[in-house]
Structure 1
Amino acid sequence: MHDITQIEQRLWEAADQLRANSKLTATEYAMPILGLIFLRHAYNRFLAVREEVEATLPKRGGVPRPLAKDDFTRKSALFLREESRFDHLLNLPADRDRGQAIIDAMEAIEADYESLSGVLPKDYQIFDNDLLGRLLKIFNDGALRNASGDVFGRIYEYFLMKFAMEGAQDKGEFFTPPSLVRTIVNVIEPDHGTILDPACGSGGMFVQTGYFIEDRGRHTAEAVTFYGQEKTATTIRLAKMNLAVHGLEGDIREGNTFYEDAHELAGKCDFTMGNPPFNVDGVDAGKIKADPRLPFGLPGVNNKKEVSNGNYLWISYFYSYLSDTGRSGFVMSSQASSAGHGEKEVRRKLVETGHVDAMIAIRSNFFYTRTVPCELWFLNRAKPEHLRDKVLMIDARNIYRKVTRKIFDFSPEQLANLTAIVWLYRGQTDKYLALVGDYLAAVHRESALVRGALAAFEESLVALQGRVAAFGDTLAAAAGPADEGRGRLRDTLSELADAHAPFLADRDALHAAVAAWRKRYADIAPDNGAQLGARHAFDPIAEELRGMVKQVDHLVKLIGRAVEIADKELDARSSDAWDSRAINRLRKELDEKRREAVDQLKHAAYFHRQAAWLQGRFPEARLADVPGLVKLADRAEIAANDWSLTPGRYVGVAPPEVDEDFDFEEALREIHVELAGLNEEAAKLAEAIQCNFEGLGA
């Protein structure tokens, strides 16, 4: 995912250039392009699943039976006939009608999957044959051939956003970031029964639920039934395409949820989930005042007899669709949790039911199309009696990783740690201890690989160091113009030798410490005391790992400086003792071995840090109030705060933390990248302003 931005930009620029040349509008171009991404993604999944299926196919007379549709359905993938496979379309003869071939591919898929009937785009005859050939090549990009579902989800979202900016879609609010969906899924655990998303967009909630169920060794179609509602036919098509490419099905119907209840599921859902549009205004109060899905009444009506903000309508819908044991998780504007007037009254009534389970605050920049912060709401109509007057408040605004300059998300471990807090809240200590155990097992596994990574680095360093030292030995002793350069090379090689000796000593001490720790904690019991002991015992080793990273980088800088002095100041290329090709090869190899060694050192320290993050906050493996992170607020405290459900209002401010892994040079590089991006945006804006100015005849 580290270069996903470049992939997105490259794909968009190429596809948009073709659109410009085709004289098609964004609206005409959007669905066909998304259809090609659909085919590319479907083919990727087909290939991955086919390899798994073929390895286990029963044989008769040594011949495996043919592949069948059910083989792929069980693996959450589409079975593709030959004519629907991306490589078949890519390799068509130049004189073949590609538009008709793609239409045939779509129709073959629809013939095999009734749920997709009439859904897939088929308006490819509007494209020139050569143009289609170039589009197919664009989406045969090497990065996409090896892309996972998450990458395709990001690319889908990116294209939706770009087409939205071109006026093709309604605000681009189709795709909820996987991090937020996974958080919702992890908390409500939708593993059975009826699941409804009344604002389902492109179906991301259903897709992540499918992953959740499959990870537990069950078949999604056998465990749950998906129901969705959306107000536009185009979005419904996107949702069905998204489900189908993951081998899922759902009953998704068209309707404006403010006024229509297409499935009539009030009180019948085991789970509700969604990411509805925020802060919608102008909802006709007269049409909804008697709606049974609004058990707490209208949140507030203006003088136009309209509900001025639809947030609490959505909140009521998510609640009213639940059965007596149902759970709900949804994304909501951060304004809603402390809104006043009629909205506060609805919130008070909701809190008084005892069914508000948890609130998680999310910082800004988790969405492509919205930079505002948001909150995740969780409702549970089967809350245990001892938790009925309490709400779990989690402020996750300081928990994130940067994906790009503008987009943040949760790492898998950050997501797991947030989920662990919910486990402690529910008294599921065994799950918490299992997670900590997984982290310590990862420390055990990753620290064992440090020895090999450092040995490979050392071998590469010594080889290059020997080449440069040999060149230094051949330099004439006579004085001359190169004296100053010879002195710098000599000093640098001496500094390198001085740094190399303690590195070797520290390396050996690290290996001994790791070996002793791994032997002592080869089998850590799922007991909090045992886990605390193991983690504390590794604390000083983690410090040594971080110190070793700095030493490795320092050695590479010194040898790099020596090579530069020899090459640029001492005209090493003219010497028989200097083989430029060999030197360059060794430098490239050293850079690779440095990266591998540093990554391995960081991996071992990283998993230790995850265990330390949890144990440092919850040392007794029980939920506790942690300033700036979590607090279990009771109803009296919530009432005293105007029934606010804003986590930051309760958890307080966290004490400042020292980032042990802060890399000044990496931070400086990020600043330069951000500055370059801002300069590029400024140039584009200046160009647009100039064009508009000239268009006015000025």
Structure 2
Amino acid sequence: MENVAQIEKKLWEAADYLRANSKLTSTEYYMPVLGLIFLRHAYNRFLKAEDEIKQHLPSRGGVTRAITKDDFVSKGALFLREHAKFDYLLNLSADNDKGQAISKAMEAIEEDYEALKGVLPKEYHIFDNDLLTNLLKVFNNKALQTANGDVFGRIYEYFLMNFAIEGAQDKGEFFTPVSLVETIVNIIEPDHGMVLDPACGSGGMFVQTSHFLEESGRKAYQAVTFYGQEKTETTIRLAKMNLAVHGLEGNIVEGNTFYDDKHELFSKCDFVMANPPFNVDKVDSEKIKGDVRLPFGLPGVNKEKQVSNGNYLWISFFYSYLNDKGRAGFVMSSQASSAGNQDKEVRRKLIETGHVDVMVAIGSNFFYTRTVPCELWFFDKAKPEERKDKVLMLDARGIYRKVTRTINDFSPEQLKNLTAITWLYRGHTTGYLALIKQYYASISKEAALLPGRMDEFSAMLAKYAEKLDEFLHWVLTSNLDAALQQSYQEAVGEAQAAVERYRQDWATLEEKLAIWLKNYAVLPETNQEHQAASDAFAPLAAELKALRKELDAAVKALLRVSDVVEKELDAKKQPTWDGREMNRLGKELDALRQVANEQLKLPRYFYKQIHWLQSRFPDAVLVDVPGLVKLADRSEIEQKDWSLTPGRYVGVAPQEMDEDFDFEQAMRDIHVELAGWNEEAVKLGKEIQANFEELGI
């Protein structure tokens, strides 16, 4: 997944370039292109499943049983007929009608899978052969030929996002950022029964549920049943394609959830997840005033007998779909948690049920098409009696990773750490301790890899220094100006000191790491053992950080010697100096420096995750942490006018001197910002130039 952002961008630019040079609009273009991504992913899953199936096929009398469609179902993959395989379409000769061939491939898949009837795009006749040939080549990118489902899921969403921005869909409401979906799934843990998303968009909640189940060794089709409702037929097609490409099925129907309950699942669902459209107005109150899904009554209704904001309709619906042990998690506008008037009355009644479980505040820029912050709401109708009058308030607005100038998400570790807080809230200490143990396993794994990486770097460092030494004889025996001689000798002296300092400190640190690894060859289990392991690793973490600087300094000092040799001593004219060779070695040295530097970061990175948790929850139990988390009781919530806004409860974290300020991360964030502005400037410049050309200027 490390290079997936570059792959996404490259694929999008190539595909968008082809569209821009055709006569197709984004609306005509987006579904067929998503269909090709579907075919590419389906073919990857087919090949992987086919290989696994062949290894375990039974044979009788020396004859192996033929592969069937059912074999692929058990592997969570689609069976593909020969003419529906991506490679077959890619290798068709130029005189074949590619549009017709791709449409027939889609028809073949629909014939084999009832759930996909009428879902897959078949509008390829509007494309000319060259455009389709080039698109097939785009999605035959080498990086995609063995890509897994996570990569394709990202690419699928990236294309959805870009098509949304291009205007192919209304405000990009058909999918939810993965970070938010993962947070919802991790907190409600949908591991059985009926799972409903009444505003299902492209089906991201269902896909992430399947990933959640896979991590525990379970299959989604065995554990849960997916139900979805969506108001537009086109978005339903997107959802069914998304499910199918992940080997999933769901009962997804068309309907406006404000007025229709197509599945009639009132009080039947084990889990409800959703990202509904926020702040919808003009909902006809007359059509819904007797709806059984509104157990707390109508929210605010205006003079025209319209619900002026639909947020609390959604909130009530989600609650009402749950059975008496059900859980719900959903995205909601940050305005809703403190809304007044009749909305507050609905919220009060909801809080008084004791079923509001967790509230999580999310910062800005998590959505592709809107920058506003939001909140995640969680209900649990099976809350134990001791937590009935309490709500976990979690303010995660300051926790994020910058992806682009306008997009943030959670890193995998940030997501795990937030989930761990909810485990402590529910008394699942074992999960919390298991996560810390997992981080220790990562420290051990990455620390064990360090000697190999460092040896490769050290060998190249020595080789580069030797090449400089070969030139030293010429310098010392030449008739160079005394000032130049001194300049060179100073640079050499600095380099020798920097290299020696790095070598000595790495040797010392390597020995200490080896001792730590030996002492914790058996990973710690209890919280007390975890604390001891952390205390033992803390000075090593500081030394890892210091060594990275020394490593960089050693390379920089050696490269400076080369710079002095070439620029001040004019060594390029000397037969004993091979500038090209030194340049090549310099690039190799810098590449190995980066590898070693990255490896030095990793043990410390996982230690920082442990420290983040232990410094806040030292006894492995939930405590209030200013600026982050507070367990609020109902009396306090009532005093705050029934508000469910986490920031009103957790307060502000005390100002501290950050001794561990991550300068490199700050610089990376600045670089991301700058790159985003530059990219937009280039795009805007092209648009301006095109406008001038149209005007004949």
Smaller-chain TM-score bracket? over 0.9
Could you tell me which residue of structure 2 aligns to residue 614 of structure 1?
Answer: 613
Cα pair 1:265 1:321 within 8 Å, conserved: yes
Could you tell me which residue of structure 2 aligns to residue 627 of structure 1?
Answer: 626
Q: Distance in 1 between matches of 2:695 and 2:634?
A: 61
Quote the offset at 1:694 in angstroms: 10
Greater Cα offset, 372-381 or 587-596? 587-596
1:494-643 paired onto structure 2 within 5 Å: 494-643=493-642
TM-score by length of structure 2 reads: 0.95
Consecutive unaligned residues in structure 1, runs of 5 or more:
none
The question of 1:188 aligning with 2:179 is answered no
Amino acid at match of 1:550: K
CA 1:163–1:521 in structure 2 vs 1: closer, same or farther (change >3 Å)? closer
Could you tell me which residue of structure 2 aligns to residue 653 of structure 1?
Answer: 652
Could you tell me which residue of structure 1 aligns to residue 72 of structure 2?
Answer: 72
**CA shift digits 1:406-439 (9 cap, x unpaired):** 2211111111111111111111111111111111
Quote the offset at 1:49 in angstroms: 3.4
CA 1:688–1:342 in structure 2 vs 1: closer, same or farther (change >3 Å)? farther
Could you tell me which residue of structure 1 aligns to residue 435 of structure 2?
Answer: 435
Cα pair 2:623 2:630 within 8 Å, conserved: yes
Q: Distance in 2 between matches of 1:2 and 1:530?
A: 33
The question of 1:231 aligning with 2:227 is answered no
Could you tell me which residue of structure 2 aligns to residue 222 of structure 1?
Answer: 222
Quote the offset at 1:676 in angstroms: 4.5
1:368-379 paired onto structure 2 within 5 Å: 368-379=368-379
Q: Distance in 2 between matches of 1:191 and 1:148?
A: 23
Count of matched residue pairs: 697
Quote the offset at 1:112 in angstroms: 1.9
**Secondary structure of residue in 1 paired with 2:21:** helix
**CA shift digits 1:129-167 (9 cap, x unpaired):** 111101111222233334443333333233223323333
Cα pair 2:329 2:377 within 8 Å, conserved: yes
CA 1:659–1:93 in structure 2 vs 1: closer, same or farther (change >3 Å)? farther
Q: Distance in 2 between matches of 1:37 and 1:331?
A: 28
**Secondary structure of residue in 2 paired with 1:576:** coil
CA 1:216–1:366 in structure 2 vs 1: closer, same or farther (change >3 Å)? same
Amino acid at match of 1:469: D
CA 1:412–1:67 in structure 2 vs 1: closer, same or farther (change >3 Å)? farther
**CA shift digits 1:96-128 (9 cap, x unpaired):** 111111112112211221111111001111111
The question of 1:206 aligning with 2:192 is answered no
Q: Distance in 2 between matches of 1:561 and 1:59?
A: 68
Could you tell me which residue of structure 1 aligns to residue 30 of structure 2?
Answer: 30
**Identity of counterpart residues, as a percentage?**
64
Q: Distance in 2 between matches of 1:399 and 1:384?
A: 29
Greater Cα offset, 513-522 or 156-165? 156-165
**CA shift digits 1:354-398 (9 cap, x unpaired):** 000001111111111111111111000110000000000111111
1:51-62 paired onto structure 2 within 5 Å: 51-58=51-58
**Secondary structure of residue in 2 paired with 1:22:** coil
Could you tell me which residue of structure 1 aligns to residue 403 of structure 2?
Answer: 403
The question of 1:389 aligning with 2:403 is answered no
Quote the offset at 1:470 in angstroms: 1.3
Could you tell me which residue of structure 1 aligns to residue 48 of structure 2?
Answer: 48
**CA shift digits 1:589-645 (9 cap, x unpaired):** 222321221122111111111111111111111111011111000000001111111
Cα pair 2:299 2:343 within 8 Å, conserved: yes
Amino acid at match of 1:585: R
Quote the offset at 1:684 in angstroms: 4.4
CA 1:682–1:463 in structure 2 vs 1: closer, same or farther (change >3 Å)? closer
Greater Cα offset, 355-364 or 2-11? 2-11
Greater Cα offset, 226-235 or 161-170? 161-170
CA 1:606–1:643 in structure 2 vs 1: closer, same or farther (change >3 Å)? same
Quote the offset at 1:565 in angstroms: 2.5
**Secondary structure of residue in 2 paired with 1:267:** coil
Amino acid at match of 2:418: L
The question of 1:493 aligning with 2:483 is answered no
Could you tell me which residue of structure 1 aligns to residue 342 of structure 2?
Answer: 342
Cα pair 2:271 2:322 within 8 Å, conserved: yes
Segments of 4+ moved more than 6 angstroms = 689-698
Amino acid at match of 1:493: V
TM-score by length of structure 1 reads: 0.95
**CA shift digits 1:503-546 (9 cap, x unpaired):** 22211221221122222222244211111111111111111111
Cα pair 2:266 2:322 within 8 Å, conserved: yes
The question of 1:465 aligning with 2:485 is answered no
Quote the offset at 1:663 in angstroms: 5.2
CA 1:551–1:51 in structure 2 vs 1: closer, same or farther (change >3 Å)? farther
User: Cα RMSD (Å) of the superposition?
Assistant: 2.3
Quote the offset at 1:180 in angstroms: 1.0
Greater Cα offset, 395-404 or 9-18? 9-18
Q: Distance in 1 between matches of 2:611 and 2:354?
A: 34
The question of 1:445 aligning with 2:467 is answered no
CA 1:568–1:78 in structure 2 vs 1: closer, same or farther (change >3 Å)? farther
Quote the offset at 1:89 in angstroms: 1.4
CA 1:516–1:626 in structure 2 vs 1: closer, same or farther (change >3 Å)? same
Cα pair 2:402 2:669 within 8 Å, conserved: no
Cα pair 1:300 1:308 within 8 Å, conserved: yes
CA 1:209–1:22 in structure 2 vs 1: closer, same or farther (change >3 Å)? same
CA 1:585–1:689 in structure 2 vs 1: closer, same or farther (change >3 Å)? closer
The question of 1:240 aligning with 2:240 is answered yes
CA 1:565–1:52 in structure 2 vs 1: closer, same or farther (change >3 Å)? farther
Amino acid at match of 2:366: F
Q: Distance in 2 between matches of 1:155 and 1:465?
A: 45
Q: Distance in 1 between matches of 2:339 and 2:489?
A: 70
Could you tell me which residue of structure 1 aligns to residue 313 of structure 2?
Answer: 313
Q: Distance in 2 between matches of 1:666 and 1:357?
A: 34
CA 1:292–1:697 in structure 2 vs 1: closer, same or farther (change >3 Å)? farther
Q: Distance in 2 between matches of 1:489 and 1:443?
A: 42
Q: Distance in 2 between matches of 1:262 and 1:56?
A: 42
Q: Distance in 1 between matches of 2:375 and 2:397?
A: 10
Greater Cα offset, 181-190 or 45-54? 45-54
CA 1:175–1:62 in structure 2 vs 1: closer, same or farther (change >3 Å)? farther
Cα pair 1:628 1:648 within 8 Å, conserved: yes
Quote the offset at 1:17 in angstroms: 2.7
